[in-house]
Amino acid sequence: MESVLSRYENQITILSDYLEEFPETDEPVWILGRQHHLNTDKSKLLLDISARLWFTYRRKFSPIGGTGPSSDAGWGCMLRCGQMMLAQALICRHLGRDWQWEKHKKQPEEYHRILRCFLDRKDCCYSIHQMAQMGVGEGKSIGEWFGPNTVAQVLKKLALFDEWNSLAVYVSMDNTVVIEDIKKMCWSPPQSSSAAHSSAHLHRSALGRNKNAAGFCTGWKPLLLIIPLRLGINHINPVYIDAFKECFKMPQSLGALGGKPNNAYYFIGFLGNELIYLDPHTTQSFVDSEENGTVDDQSFHCQQAPHRMKIMNLDPSVALGFFCKEECDFDNWCSLVQKEILKQQSLRMFELVQKHPPHWPPFIPPTKPEVTTTGAELIESTDKLFEVEEEFEILSV
């Protein structure tokens, strides 16, 4: 009986009052750059949503830091939303935006490798353990709630240790995206061959993965662009709504982090004036990988109609996400921003500028700190990881 109950603990449980179906309407639904029509392809829409990786509260994982919490229920929702946004970037990176997930269908190795990055273990590069401990360097105690900007800064630092995905993570400052800085960062020269070989060897031996860890280090580094914003004082300013919705139409869209105070959601699209989101506030049991490296993924996909909320109920502190695999994707994104976002003459949601502002400190692309071990083992303490804080890259919200 106990085994049956434990098996069902991992099943998705959503209260009936959250299962509101989509209304009958001719308005299109936009999900991460893809348009759906409810009257003709509702099932396709739900398949698209269920393909997104869904990270929720978990319990019964190893204590964070050895003696810390073994569950993130009540405090980890924004970290889980950050995981979901990053996971969507990795899906686009390795499998493509149009990849679909089907229950019980065999998935490619890249998919399971992506999932393993987020398992609740200290040796997984984007685990709740790594994110919570890296948050200490951002002034957040383990078990303390994060805001969108803090999660963005944590992901930027953790990505430096992720050699397999080799992402360039840019977090905008002061509502300004600088094209020159992004291109400088994404075209940064790779490590020397000896350093790359040594680092790859360490990473493989410690984590047993990343067979070609340095294989993606040449040319344009895929870009994860995160734009923390404050779209009002206490409530979202209606002047920003149209521009905010336009971001979900862009093919580079990774959605948005936000929600309500101490209640974070991962927003993936909209219908009319309602935002569509994945909710991390379901507590499930810890899931580990199998001996063959695969992951029982049933609890990592939301297989019900998603939640919706009125856009005016959104807390004004948000973070937009975009993924540009190639330079041409970034150039296209810049064109779309110029056309759809910057057409607003007053109260623009954010600015896109070509050159680095002269009154800012010089932009130096972040690099992995010199260490003698891997990131997974290094981030037991963040005291000396980033002693010099790059203040101009941190947005105060």
Distance of CA 198 to the CA centre of its chain: 29
- Collect all residues with Cβ–Cβ distance below 8 Å to 61 and sequence separation of at least 6: 70, 71, 120, 121, 128, 129, 286
Active site includes 281?
yes
pLDDT tens-place string over residues 225-245 = 999 999 998 899 999 999 999
37, 174, 217, 281: the active-site residue: 281
Active site includes 279?
yes
Instruction: Judge whether residue 390 has pLDDT over 80.
Output: no
Q: Once rounded to an integer, what is the mean pLDDT over residues 259-287?
A: 94
The reported pTM is: 0.83
Question: Cβ of 30: how many Cβ atoms within 10 Å?
Answer: 21
Rounded Cα distance, 231 and 262, in Å = 17
Nearest to 124 by CA among 74, 75, 61: 61
pLDDT tens-place string over residues 137-177 = 889 999 998 999 999 999 999 999 999 999 999 999 999 99
What's the DSSP call for residue 37?
E
Distances in whole angstroms, Cα of residue 5 to Cα of each of 8, 202, 287, 295: 5, 41, 15, 20
Bridging pattern class, strands 263-271 and 274-278: antiparallel
Active site includes 334?
no
pLDDT of residue 385: 41
Nearest to 278 by CA among 291, 289, 264, 288: 264
> What tokens were used for 282?
């379901």
pLDDT of residue 351: 94
pLDDT of residue 189: 67
77, 81, 92, 125: the active-site residue: 77
What's the DSSP call for residue 222?
P
120, 181, 279, 329: the active-site residue: 279
What's the DSSP call for residue 389?
-
Distance of CA 329 to the CA centre of its chain: 18
Instruction: Judge whether residue 214 has pLDDT over 90.
Output: no
Question: Cβ of 392: how many Cβ atoms within 10 Å?
Answer: 14
User: Which stretch, 196-200, 258-262, 323-327, has highest mean pLDDT?
Assistant: 323-327
pLDDT of residue 303: 82
Is the pLDDT higher at 97 or at 195?
97
Q: Please state, rounded to an integer, the average pLDDT across all residues of the chain.
A: 82
- Collect all residues with Cβ–Cβ distance below 8 Å to 237 and sequence separation of at least 6: 231, 316, 347
Cα-based angle 274, 153, 126 (whole degrees, multiple of 5): 85
Nearest to 262 by CA among 143, 171, 127: 143
Instruction: Judge whether residue 382 has pLDDT over 80.
Output: no
The percentage of the chain sitting over the pLDDT mark of 90, rounded to a whole number, equals 63
Q: Which residue's structure tokens are 């050699």?
A: 163
Buried b (16+ CB within 10 A) or exposed e, 268-292: bbbbeebbbbbbbbbbbebbebeee
Q: Once rounded to an integer, what is the mean pLDDT over residues 30-41?
A: 91
